[in-house]
Structure 1
């Protein structure tokens, strides 16, 4: 294990190439992104993400973590893709001032709508199977598909938090319509706590997302400041999608179509709306509550 090649200099080409992935342009050009820390790396592997390189801090504790990781998730050619990294070089790789033992370079997965349909079908099939843990059986299943649509989401932290919420609420899939931020931004990856790797995601134009939802016979609910119906009064006991707008500008005009049902989160103070990730949590967990009520009262 200790025979992995040592990268000692911050100027090493492999270090410089990987560190450049903190930048969105480099991620787009290389089709790669970074995963910080063993916890997120394990979740990425569980989600089928392909790792290209693994960088491990050159000390005993970090090497022990790498041994454990490779024991559970063997890589085809660990000798050529795993590298020991000296502290000075690791500082160049790691995010901000965080002290990381492992950093992975991973291949950006496909996020097209065709592949999304396949991934959704797999997740939906699994969600209908009773969970082996009785206390989680209801929470792990949905009576009908539920999608989250994030319209022109701008802040990576909000995106990651929304994905974390989507995973917790048992959402079938997440559609990013004309996103402004990069889904593979390190902030988004960290804030998602790995949900980015396990919840099916599609990235497409607003028009393409709406066309996919229409083709799939999904009722759309759009969260709007001027929505006429409280979000708790909407009926989520049907195949549905919940749309959350841009942090500053709200929803694009296309989401104001009469076929789309507006919903509102009541506000009692001087501000007129919640943070995008908070709004996501509020509405998705109402959908989850209604879903669990329907399952609990349905004949078995």
Structure 2
């Protein structure tokens, strides 16, 4: 059992620490402070395994003990950065209805294209103007499952640290290198690294499985509504598509990304 007397107990909405957590639930607050929230035991564990340490932790002992967590020592944080939160109050700062009773504050990552560490035969996922948090989170899970080198998000419409991105990624926001950049600088960087630019397009004449994905490759995915912009269609090495045998002409972007990425993994011999 976690001994609540070890930690400062927060019981009021007016507590400055609770107000600060609430501020981080919105994009403006996250950008202002360069911090974000990650809620959930699995997400926190992946963060630790990936080398990320929370700045502060907020928990409710009743919630987390139901999940079998009876100690917070593995976070290796000083007690003055860990806070017990009243059950009803925690429900107010949680963004999950089925909260696990633990959330952490983390520093936003500011990786750049120049700082990316690539394997000898890189596989990169590029998303242009991704719109839906759930799709972005699902693509991050795919990137982790396929051990892609990086995910580059070009001209994003949503905030990378939106709570729904983190939730749908189940913590994979921590396990992969992620860069936010504009499209032209990304194209220039990919070309400088001799990475083949493969743009998914409904008008492509070549199917994805007919393409050589064994070489250094960047798979470029656009929005479901509009696809990729002209800059990616005119400056790519190849346009590729997924065969569609029914009445619709496209898949959810996260599903389409997974199909193409795992074809690359298949070609490379898993």
Q: What TM-score do the two structures reach when normalised by structure 2?
A: 0.93
The CA distance in 2 between the partners of 1:73 and 1:22, in whole Å, is 22
* Cα shift at 1:11: 2.5
CA distance in 1, matches of 2:30, 2:235: 39
Match of 1:145 in 2: 122
**4+ aligned runs moved over 4 Å, structure 1:** none
Partner of 2:196: 219
Name the CA distance, whole Å, in 2 between partners of 1:24 and 1:18.
12
Shift of 1:278: 0.6
Q: 2:174 aligns with which of 168, 189, 197?
A: 197
1:265-297: CA deviation from partner (whole Å, max 9, x where unpaired): 11122211111101101100100100117xxxx
Structure 2 residue aligned with 1:74: 76
CA distance 1:63–1:218, shift in 2 (3 Å): closer
Indicate how the Cα distance of structure 1 residues 108 and 289 shifts in structure 2: closer, same or farther if over 3 A, else same: same
Shift of the 102–172 alpha-carbon distance from structure 1 to 2, 3 Å rule, reads same
Instruction: Kindly state the Cα deviation for residue 110 of structure 1 after the two structures are TM-superposed.
Output: 1.5
Alignment map for 1:43-82 (pairs within 5 Å): 43-59=46-62, 61=65, 65=69, 67=71, 69-70=72-73, 72-75=74-77, 78-82=78-82
- 8 Å contact 1:224–1:264 — kept in the other structure? yes
Task: Extract unaligned runs of 5+ from structure 2.
Answer: none
CA distance in 1, matches of 2:22, 2:98: 14
Matches within 5 A, 1:31-42: 31-42=34-45
Q: Does 1:25 align with 2:2?
A: no
RMSD over aligned CA atoms reads 1.8
Alpha-carbon distance between aligned partners in 1 of 2:256 and 2:67, rounded to the nearest angstrom: 42
Q: 2:183 aligns with which of 182, 193, 206?
A: 206
- Separation of aligned partners in 1, 2:240 and 2:29: 39
3-state SS in 1 of match to 2:248: coil
Q: Cα distance 1:241–1:261, how it changes in 2: closer, same or farther (>3 A)?
A: same
1:115-173 CA distance string (max 9 Å, x none) = 2x2xx24xx3xxxxxxxxxxxxxxxxxx7211100111111100000010111112111
Change (3 A) 1:210 1:92: same
Contact 1:62 1:102 in 2 (8 A): no
In structure 2, C-alpha distance between the alignment counterparts of 1:62 and 1:16, rounded to whole Å:
26
The residue that corresponds to 2:7 in the other structure is 4
Corresponding residue number in structure 2 for 1:268: 245
- How far 1:92 sits from its partner (Å)? 1.4
1:98 maps to 2:98: yes
Counterpart of 1:134 in structure 2 is none
Question: How many positions carry a matched residue from both structures?
Answer: 266
Question: Paired residue for 1:128?
Answer: none
- 1:159 corresponding residue in structure 2: 136
Counterpart-to-counterpart distance in 2, 1:174 and 1:290: 20
TM-score (norm 1): 0.84
Partner of 1:279: 256
| Aligned equivalents of 1:39, 1:152: Cα separation in 2 | 28
The structure richer in helix per residue is 1
**Long gaps (5+) in structure 1:** 125-142, 294-300
1:17 deviates by 1.4
Which secondary structure state, in structure 2, belongs to the residue aligned with residue 65 of structure 1? coil
For 1:131, the equivalent position in structure 2 comes to none
